[in-house]
Structure 1
Amino acid sequence: MIKITKFGGSSVADAEHFKKIKGIIDADPARRFVVVSACGRRFSGDSKVTDLLYLVDAHVNYHVSCDDLLADIGQRYFDIADELGLSYPIREEFSAFAERASKGGYTTEELVSRGEYFTARLMAEYLGLPFIDATDMVAFHHDGTLSMKRTAELVKKNAREGGFVMPGFYGATKEGKVKLLDRGGGDISGSILAQCLEADLYENWTDVSGFLSADPRIVEGAQPIPRITYEELRELSYMGASVLHEEAVFPVRDAGIPLVIKNTNAPEDPGTIISETAKEGDSEPIITGIAGKRGFLAINVARDRTKSRIGFMRRALSVFERYGVSVEHMPTGVDQFAAVVQASDVKDSLYSLVSDIQEEVEPLEIEVVENLALIATVGRNLRGRPGISGHLFGMLGQEGVSVRMITQGCDEINIIIGVEEKDFDLAIKTIYKAFSDENGIVKTSDLEPVRAPF
């Protein structure tokens, strides 16, 4: 059996966490392929090594001394090596790196990648496994996109059957130029490796015991999710549930490999299993989870007989495309539609964009509704279950939450609502309460009808 184990920044923050990882690896002989991120925060107010390296790059670009920053980063690695008694010449290696970095000798991507590189070097020695650089395993096209075909060839050529440690987050082009994945891309590195090695399981180790059914900062006592489908995970991740990088699901999903989120600090916890399918039925929770994001606005466009005017919506949407703005949702009516976008995407161009829409389609009216938040209620067991929407909106009505937008996917696994940002926390608490019992446990049985307050 092959298990790919990926440890995030919080899991490799210091020597104590290295020790926890060794215990996890030693506990299961199937765990012999390890991917690591750069050292994360050790405590509240601490900095991630990746953030510090980006700051070093900024200092270099502005010709400001970064010696103190580099010294702080180096000390993080020196402390780990000293406490664990490692022989890897980290001081000599880091000194050479720091000297070159301070002179602007690295591209941004190569400089930032050294966080994962040095972490993996130390981890490989500590676990007694070979080190394989991600530049020899993860292939990029020249434009910075992944080359899965060539990556598979490199893994087949360079992987060690007995296991190895690989840094996440980066790879290289054929010419050897280092390229980075998106932030959080170490999750993607582990997923790619799982696909290429045809693993039986991809374990993603972090500082939480899997996904929770709601943000615990908003819903006290939110329950863990024992099992979730890739489909549900994508919905929740997109709407702000950030335990796992949303792009990490594709390689393992395509290969049919289950993924589990585990807690490095509590390895005995079952975590959350993510797979292509999950059992449906009365013994499963009605909803899987609730997630949401603030910072949206809606541009409402109205015109008589919109539906019969061929090309009306296409022309209006072409304006958003011209401005490079992604439309998140698009509720429609007989004579109007609304384009919901992230406010940050139009912060510098809103008035110009609205003006161009007016010129393009000559609407009767355009209204901009700001300070919106979107909330998704997600669950595979929502499908074909009568009364769910009525129950949800009845509870929101009782609490005085005004719903500004409603949309539901054709697959019936999510209900997305738009509310005013000031009602964001209340709406999430209300939805969670609507689908849980008096002990805060998400219900598995049918719901009692709720009478709306009118």
Structure 2
Amino acid sequence: MKVVKFGGSSLASGEQFEKVARIVTGDPERRVVVVSAPGKRFEDDIKTTDLLITLANTIIAGDAYTEAFEDVLERFTAIVTYLGLDEAVLSDIRTKLTERIETYKHDEDRLMDALKSSGENENAKVMAAYLTKLGTKASYVSPDEAGMLVTDEPGNARILPEAYDHLYRLREREEVLVIPGFFGYSKENNIVTFPRGGSDITGSIVAAGLQASLYENFTDVDSVYSVNPNLVENPHEMKEITYREMRELAYSGFGVFHDEALLPVVEKKVPVCIKNTNHPEAPGTMIVDNRVPDKMPVLGIASDKGFLSINLTKYLMNRQVGFGRRLLEILETEGISFEHTPSGIDNMSVILREHQVQNGKEERILSRIRQELDVVDVSIERNLALVMVVGEGMARTVGVASKATAALGDAGVNIKMINQGSSETSMMFGVDDRDANLAVKSLYHAFFPND
């Protein structure tokens, strides 16, 4: 049994639906399909999820929302009309959207989750209807019916362990099952969405729950590249990559795969293949538990922006038992997670996502650090980008760090921070966000000179 997930670009139009249907029906092992909401049809188009967020915000603001509602419906109308599906499909979409608005219009968080998830939910119904029209026995399966039980935190769902047992029972079904991505149901029967990009998470959870032989994630590229193809011409294509390497690259800015989506398939050791909906015959990139070592120490390079660093100085910090714990407890009470904590004997830095310190949190954190930790100095450095060099071969190769720092130095990129985990699978550099692209390109050409 294969689980196949199709992203928004793969389902953006009726023409794309036809391609997806050919892929699904072309392999009898593709028994479960997970779908995203319709994505962009062209460069300046608006994703359906963004239209739904606009609709939700309009309702929350108390403004007339007819136009925003019709903008959403138009996307589905174009697809349903092109595919020649029954008018009842469109009527059902209109009814379900209206029902969700009426049910949740007085609860902002629940309304947002209910509407955001509607793109995937209604698209799954359209796909099931289209496969049925083509003569394939297919059924829409709601996350509730599938047993996709999640925590009850709006916009930040986490799968509950018992969900996997519920999902495994779907193996008993004989038809092709179409499941909407991006959301699940809490035990309180609330609709709760995963973080943005959560259809990848759904696909991974379903593949793990069904203990699939393969999880195919269809997108709009032939394979995963070693660097952002918008930065480098003819970038190196990765044919095989480990879960650990992919996790590091996804975390640091690779848009092909959501960084949280690997965890379920890693636990069940389900192999993943990234493939192209527009070129399905291409072999794609396999993500596996282990791969045969090659001569390349570095497999990929990526960067992500939107970080800041809280920098502390306190003399003899290294001798003060519990200092780090007390610092992290301050962040914990504010509901803030940290990314990295590089340190010296008298100083320590904590790297955070900038969006986490809004609404007065920054002032409270700095005040508590000064008062409770008695530091000599504390400051915040903004506009930080993290550049990640990833490859399991680095642990077996001498001189990777010197080559990387030399490349950045030759390019005139100032290194603000260096951090490397004990596994030596990745090496992280903190740089000014304006230098992020230059840093990535210089590192790529250092480690992939033949490209």
Given the two structures, how large is their TM-score scaled by the length of structure 2? 0.90
1:261-286 per-position Cα deviation (integer Å, ceiling 9, x unaligned): 1111111222211111111132xx32
The amino acid across from 1:72 in the alignment is D
Could you tell me which residue of structure 1 aligns to residue 308 of structure 2? 297
Could you tell me which residue of structure 2 aligns to residue 135 of structure 1? 144
The amino acid across from 1:28 in the alignment is D
Could you tell me which residue of structure 2 aligns to residue 276 of structure 1? 289
* 1-structure distance, mates of 2:346, 2:101: 60
1:372-417 per-position Cα deviation (integer Å, ceiling 9, x unaligned): 2211100011112111111111222222222111111100111111
Deviation at 1:191, TM superposition (A): 1.5
1:140-195 per-position Cα deviation (integer Å, ceiling 9, x unaligned): 25635423324422541685223222222223245543332222221122222212
1:21-40 per-position Cα deviation (integer Å, ceiling 9, x unaligned): 12212322212321111111
* 2-structure distance, mates of 1:224, 1:54: 35
Deviation at 1:297, TM superposition (A): 2.5
Check 1:46–1:159 CA distance in 2 against 1; reply closer, same or farther (3 A cut). farther
Does the aligned pair in 1 maintain the 2:7–2:219 contact within 8 Å? yes
Does the aligned pair in 1 maintain the 2:171–2:210 contact within 8 Å? no
* 2-structure distance, mates of 1:199, 1:255: 9
Does the aligned pair in 2 maintain the 1:137–1:151 contact within 8 Å? no
* 1-structure distance, mates of 2:352, 2:65: 39
Sequence identity (%): 36
Could you tell me which residue of structure 1 aligns to residue 179 of structure 2? 166
* 1-structure distance, mates of 2:83, 2:324: 63
Check 1:263–1:319 CA distance in 2 against 1; reply closer, same or farther (3 A cut). same
Does the aligned pair in 1 maintain the 2:298–2:394 contact within 8 Å? yes
Given the alignment of the two structures, is residue 213 of structure 1 paired with residue 226 of structure 2, yes or no? yes
* 1-structure distance, mates of 2:401, 2:92: 60
Does the aligned pair in 1 maintain the 2:97–2:115 contact within 8 Å? no
Pick from 165, 184, 191: which aligns with 1:152?
A: 165
Given the alignment of the two structures, is residue 227 of structure 1 paired with residue 219 of structure 2, yes or no? no
Given the alignment of the two structures, is residue 369 of structure 1 paired with residue 381 of structure 2, yes or no? yes
**Deviates further, 191-200 or 309-318:** 309-318
Does the aligned pair in 1 maintain the 2:419–2:429 contact within 8 Å? yes
* 1-structure distance, mates of 2:412, 2:49: 44
Deviation at 1:17, TM superposition (A): 0.1
Deviation at 1:350, TM superposition (A): 3.2
Unpaired runs of at least 5, structure 1: 441-454
Tell me the SS of whatever aligns to 1:260: strand
* 2-structure distance, mates of 1:271, 1:247: 21
Does the aligned pair in 2 maintain the 1:298–1:341 contact within 8 Å? yes
Could you tell me which residue of structure 1 aligns to residue 216 of structure 2? 203
Does the aligned pair in 2 maintain the 1:136–1:171 contact within 8 Å? no
Tell me the SS of whatever aligns to 2:260: helix
Tell me the SS of whatever aligns to 2:345: coil
Given the alignment of the two structures, is residue 404 of structure 1 paired with residue 416 of structure 2, yes or no? yes
Could you tell me which residue of structure 1 aligns to residue 118 of structure 2? 114
**Deviates further, 222-231 or 297-306:** 297-306
RMSD after superposition: 2.2
Could you tell me which residue of structure 2 aligns to residue 390 of structure 1? 402
Does the aligned pair in 2 maintain the 1:5–1:31 contact within 8 Å? yes
Deviation at 1:329, TM superposition (A): 1.4
Could you tell me which residue of structure 1 aligns to residue 48 of structure 2? 49
Check 1:192–1:372 CA distance in 2 against 1; reply closer, same or farther (3 A cut). closer
Deviation at 1:18, TM superposition (A): 0.6
The amino acid across from 1:70 in the alignment is F
* 1-structure distance, mates of 2:304, 2:201: 23
Check 1:317–1:88 CA distance in 2 against 1; reply closer, same or farther (3 A cut). same
Deviation at 1:103, TM superposition (A): 4.4
Does the aligned pair in 2 maintain the 1:135–1:170 contact within 8 Å? no
* 1-structure distance, mates of 2:94, 2:414: 59
Q: Which structure's CA Rg is the greater one?
A: 1
* 2-structure distance, mates of 1:142, 1:365: 40
Given the alignment of the two structures, is residue 33 of structure 1 paired with residue 32 of structure 2, yes or no? yes
* 1-structure distance, mates of 2:437, 2:188: 50
Does the aligned pair in 2 maintain the 1:116–1:169 contact within 8 Å? yes
Does the aligned pair in 2 maintain the 1:131–1:166 contact within 8 Å? yes
Pick from 290, 315, 332: which aligns with 2:343?
A: 332
1:240-276 per-position Cα deviation (integer Å, ceiling 9, x unaligned): 1121122221221111110011111111222211111
Unpaired runs of at least 5, structure 2: none
* 1-structure distance, mates of 2:141, 2:417: 50
Given the alignment of the two structures, is residue 258 of structure 1 paired with residue 271 of structure 2, yes or no? yes
**Deviates further, 429-438 or 308-317:** 308-317
Deviation at 1:75, TM superposition (A): 2.4
* 2-structure distance, mates of 1:110, 1:295: 28
Does the aligned pair in 1 maintain the 2:124–2:140 contact within 8 Å? yes
**Deviates further, 356-365 or 42-51:** 356-365
Could you tell me which residue of structure 1 aligns to residue 298 of structure 2? 287
Given the alignment of the two structures, is residue 6 of structure 1 paired with residue 5 of structure 2, yes or no? yes
